[in-house]
Amino acid sequence: MTWIWSNMDLIWDRTLDHLVLSVPSIILSFVIALPFGWLAHRYRASRAVILTTVGLLYAIPSLPLFIVLPFIVGTSIRSPLNLIIALTLYGVALMVRVVADGLGSVDRDVQQSATGVGFSGWTVFWQVELPLAGPVLLAGLRVVAVSTVSLATVGAVIGAQSLGSLFTDGIQRGIQEEIIAGIVATVLLALVLDAALVLFGRLLMPWTRRSAIGVAARNSAVVAGVTT
């Protein structure tokens, strides 16, 4: 414990580094997944192809991806951009299916009513489908957030400072407190981001609070949906 108390500033710095790597990746994953998920939802023929291809991104081992990416994208090997791009890819791999399922969860009757009262195609998407799919998207985004935070630690291996640096350094110096601090801080950060997303969801979608049970049930379906 003494190591942790005397190195609080180091842990804090690494936590900030970790946030800088993971938060943009989480946001980008969501933004990029939207059009692909929409395509998969809208055109059934494309669905299997898009979802399987995107899903397989998750099978790319992270270490080689981190090493090769700078050569492919043309960034400097130590640029934090590499890590952000890689983490975004993994996030997209999880999120596209959620978007497709989320949009698919919107009742057709509701869509048709919206069209019936004069909403155009775009407005139906932005003002009806997307808000109604919101809880599902949020549930998926929470999984993406937690996984991204966990995965960002691998960046330590390629010289991108993060909470992962605490356990690479701790291992070398045989300081178990440092390794444990790195793991615990990663988990805590993931939980904080997760809680922030839940709060964010409540602000954006106040109507979901009224049917908490329904949301809980559907969130769980999405978690599995992510996984299917």
Partner 1 sequence: MSFFIETLAWLLDPANWIGAGGIPTRLAQHLLFTLVTLIVAAVIAVPIGFVIGHTGRGRGLAVAISGAFRAIPTLGLLTLVALWVGIGLSAPFVALIVLAIPPILAGAYTGFEAIDRKIIDAARAVGMSEAQILLKVELPLGLPLLIGGLRSATLQVVATATLAAYIANFGLGRYLFEGLRIRDYGEMLGGSVLVILLAIVLEGVFALIQKLVVPRGVTEGLPTDIRDGSSRSRPVMETTIEKGNSNVHST
Partner 2 sequence: MFTAHRGRLTLIGAVAVGAVVALAGCASGDPLAEPSSSATDSTIVVGSQAYYSNEIIAEIYSQALEAGGFTVDRQFQIGQREVYLPDIEDGKIDVFPEYTGSLLQALDKAAVGGTSDATYTELQAALPDNLRVLDKAEASDQNSWTVTDAVASKYSLTDIASLTNVTEPITVGGNSELETRPYGPTALKEKYGIKIAGFVPVEDSGGPLTVKALVDGDIQLANIYTADPNIKTNSLVALTDPDGLFFPDNIVPVVSQKVDDSAAAILNKVSAALTADMLVDLNSQSFNDKLSADKIATAWLTQEKLV
Binding site for partner 2 (CB under 8 A): 2-3, 6-7, 10, 13, 16-17, 19-21, 23-24, 27, 67, 75-81, 84, 126-128, 131, 156-159, 161, 165, 168-169, 171-175, 200, 203-205
* Contact by Cβ (8 Å): 164, 157: yes
Phi, psi of 66, rounded to the nearest 5 degrees: -60, -35
Look up residue 30 and give its two tokens. 């969501």
127 binds, among partner 2, partner 1, none (CB under 5 to 8 A by kind): partner 2
In the complex, minimum distance from the CB of residue 153 to partner 2, in angstroms, rounded to a whole number: 13
In the complex, minimum distance from the CB of residue 49 to partner 2, in angstroms, rounded to a whole number: 31
State which of residues 33, 138, 151, 160 lies at the interface with partner 1 (CB under 8 A).
151
Estimate the crossing angle of helix 163-172 against helix 8-42, to 10 degrees. 130
List, in order, residues 6 or more apart from 226 with CB less than 8 Å away.
94, 97, 98, 140, 143
Judged by CB under 8 A, the stretch of 28-36, 43-51, 74-82, 117-125 that binds partner 1 is 43-51
Comparing CB distances to partner 1, the nearer of 112 and 220 is 220
State which of residues 92, 100, 114, 197 lies at the interface with partner 1 (CB under 8 A).
100
206 near partner 1, judged by CB under 8 A: no
State which of residues 95, 146, 160, 197 lies at the interface with partner 1 (CB under 8 A).
146
- Restricted to residues 70-89, the positions that interact with partner 1 (CB under 8 A) are 71-72
Look up residue 79 and give its two tokens. 């640029």
First vs last C-alpha separation in the chain: 42
Residues 155-194: x where in contact with partner 1 by CB under 8 A, - otherwise, as a string: --x-----xx--x---x--x-x--xx-xx--xx--xx--x
DSSP state of 162: S
Total number of residues binding partner 1 (CB under 8 A)?
71
Closest CA to 106 of 138, 125, 129: 129
- H-run or E-run covering 89: helix 80-104
Which residue matches tokens 């090493």?
Answer: 67
Judged by CB under 8 A, the stretch of 20-28, 46-54, 81-89, 111-119 that binds partner 1 is 46-54
State which of residues 107, 116, 121, 206 lies at the interface with partner 1 (CB under 8 A).
107
- Residue 180 and residue 197: Cα distance in Å, rounded? 26
SS3 letters for 165-181?
A: HHHHHHHHCCCHHHHHH
Comparing CB distances to partner 2, the nearer of 60 and 128 is 128
